[in-house]
Amino acid sequence: MRLDRITLKGLRARGRHGVLAAERELGQEFVVDATLFVDTAPAAAGDDLAKTVHYGELAQDLVKVVEGEPVDLIETLAQRLADVCLAHELVSRVEISVHKPAAPIPLPFDDVIVTIERSRA
């Protein structure tokens, strides 16, 4: 089966993830990129939203996770986001990148990014 990609890039939300007390107390912006691997041919053939992933609703679900229960590691956050994507039965595989551009690193840097790829079991 051919798989197409639906990508949601640069989704921003404020979360309280991290191991430091200040990260939990103050929170910071996280940026999420999600690439869903989906067969979009049925949706395109019938111009039918019900046969694909509604990326607007997905964005809201992902933001709820980022704004929700804090975790120590962005690896854990990435896994939770992947689980949300894979809950959509049409998604065969997902790649999630979580950016933490304000990570508490005492050196000049542009971004910290954890990227994971998960498939439907």
The residues annotated as belonging to the active site are: 100
Helix residue ranges per DSSP H, the chain = 21-26, 41-46, 55-67, 74-86
Measured N-to-C along each axis, helices 74-86 and 55-67 cross at an angle, to the nearest 10 degrees, of 150
b/e code 26-59 from CB counts within 10 Å (16+ = b): ebbebbbbbbbbbebeebeeeeeeebbbeeeebe
Q: How far apart are CA 27 and CA 100, in angstroms?
A: 11
